[in-house]
Structure 1
Amino acid sequence: MMRTVFDRLFRFFGPQYWWPAETKFEVCVGSILTQNTAWTNVERAIHNLKKENLLSPYAIVQVPDERLRELIRPAGFFNQKAERLKIFAKFLIDNGGFEKLSLLPLYSLREKLLNLKGVGRETADSMILYAFEKPIFVVDAYTKRLFYRMGFIDSEKIDYDVLREKVERSLPKDIELFSEFHALIVKHCKEFCRKKPLCEGCPLIDGCKFWRNGAAQGSHR
């Protein structure tokens, strides 16, 4: 069933070419900056860092805290995020960078990332999938919304790892498949499966429990 959802979304939207970044470090910076903000704000902050040639671990560690906070201000929560960027950059340097860390087993790497201040499961998994290129599925609020409305889960409050493992059991453990599926879910939920859904034209409508229930009650126009 998960594969059917993926196939329909892929046919409808096409490839999404995620994560939008030029380097592995930029992926990780973006995954930290995107916490509690829109991606357009992250793009502005990353643009500022690029202009100052600061998109490298050593540059982030060395830049004065005040200057870093000012550059990433568009992403919001800039005091916290500046601290988290410095912690992550130092972690990379101290542990041999992406090349050495990528040699770790997936869950050993995940544990190390989760021990960093401000790195939660979604942030860690985004780094693992898109920067370290290991097959783990990234769950976000869009994933929970879509799968709840499709009837795959009973509540949007489902535990992160319970849903992640449910998806991973349903699909081949493939990096490109996981990254594309995550991106397609985000795309779909921004265009159709919004908080207030736009069901007309939705490529998943015939399998959507939420729509069927709403249609039965006459709530869809």
Structure 2
Amino acid sequence: MRAPHAAAVRAVYARLLEGYGPQGWWPAETPFEVMVGAILTQNAAWANVERAIARLRAAGLLAPEALAALPPEAIAPHIRPAGYFNVKARRLAAYCRWYLAAGGLEGLARRPTEALRRALLAVHGVGPETADDILLYAFGRPVFVIDAYTRRIFSRLGLAEAGWGYERLRAWFEAALEPDPDLFGEYHALIVRHAKAACRKRPACAGCVLRGDCSTGAGA
């Protein structure tokens, strides 16, 4: 039996898709590039992450073997555009060492979703959002990614409470939707697009595709 909030969650998706069209996320050429992007995008604008990834690619370092072989201080200059580059260099090096020791893409792909998620969360610097980005976009697992944009939009719509923890909100979405990685990825991408276009910290409600169902927009 579908959760009682399912119709509302699916209706939001339909309006976002109609308003913005398919987003085609995640922008990456390989699953490993998705993983690198998921680590670098922590507290960073995606445009800056793209610059950092381009620098890694130009230096011949966009491969787990190449990054794992370097000390973090040798990685840091290449990822400077992504910010917090010393911290992220340590995280990226740790991730690549773990990734190779775990059997790389093929070895990890054989693990069940929950076991793989637990393993990812045990890696230095990988939190729930980063782990779920990797699960969804690199491994194609039906795990819904929660970010600050999701909290903002759905609390303003009055569908979810701003104080809900990550796991509660993730379970709330997954209970409302079919376990479809393509759907989850498209929905997450549309949420990001809408948050940047309209549902900002200071909302731009004029022309918002969700305005009719939002108390913030209705009062603007």
TM class, shorter-chain normalised?
Answer: over 0.9
Counterpart position of 2:130:
123
Checking the alignment, whether the CA contact within 8 Å between 1:21 and 1:27 is kept in structure 2 is yes
Query: Helix, strand or coil: the match of 1:135?
Result: coil
Match for 2:97: what amino acid? K
Counterpart position of 2:197:
191
The whole-number CA distance in structure 2 between the counterparts of 1:65 and 1:165 is 35
Checking the alignment, whether the CA contact within 8 Å between 2:71 and 2:93 is kept in structure 1 is no
Aligned counterparts, 1:55-134, within 5 A: 55-134=62-141
Match for 2:93: what amino acid? K
Note if 1:163 corresponds to 2:166. Answer: no
Checking the alignment, whether the CA contact within 8 Å between 2:70 and 2:93 is kept in structure 1 is no
The whole-number CA distance in structure 2 between the counterparts of 1:191 and 1:200 is 11
Q: CA deviation at 1:66?
A: 2.6
Query: 1:40-85 deviations in whole A, cap 9, x for unaligned?
Result: 1111110100001111110101134332111011111111111111
Query: Helix, strand or coil: the match of 1:72?
Result: helix
Note if 1:172 corresponds to 2:178. Answer: yes
Gaps of 5+ in 2: 1-7
Query: 1:125-180 deviations in whole A, cap 9, x for unaligned?
Result: 0000000110000000000000000001122x320010010011001010000000
The whole-number CA distance in structure 1 between the counterparts of 2:90 and 2:52 is 15
Aligned counterparts, 1:33-44, within 5 A: 33-44=40-51
Counterpart position of 1:203:
209
Counterpart position of 2:5:
none
Match for 1:190: what amino acid? K
Q: CA deviation at 1:211?
A: 2.4
Of 33, 57, 60, the match for 1:53 = 60
Query: Helix, strand or coil: the match of 1:104?
Result: coil
| Amino-acid identity (%) | 49
Note if 1:7 corresponds to 2:7. Answer: no
Tell me whether 74-83 or 184-193 shows the greater mean CA deviation.
74-83
Name the count of aligned residue pairs: 213
The whole-number CA distance in structure 2 between the counterparts of 1:65 and 1:201 is 46
Checking the alignment, whether the CA contact within 8 Å between 1:151 and 1:210 is kept in structure 2 is no
Counterpart position of 2:34:
27
Q: CA deviation at 1:190?
A: 0.2
**TM-score, length-normalised on structure 2?**
0.94
Gaps of 5+ in 1: none
**TM-score, length-normalised on structure 1?**
0.94
The whole-number CA distance in structure 1 between the counterparts of 2:94 and 2:59 is 20
Q: CA deviation at 1:191?
A: 0.4
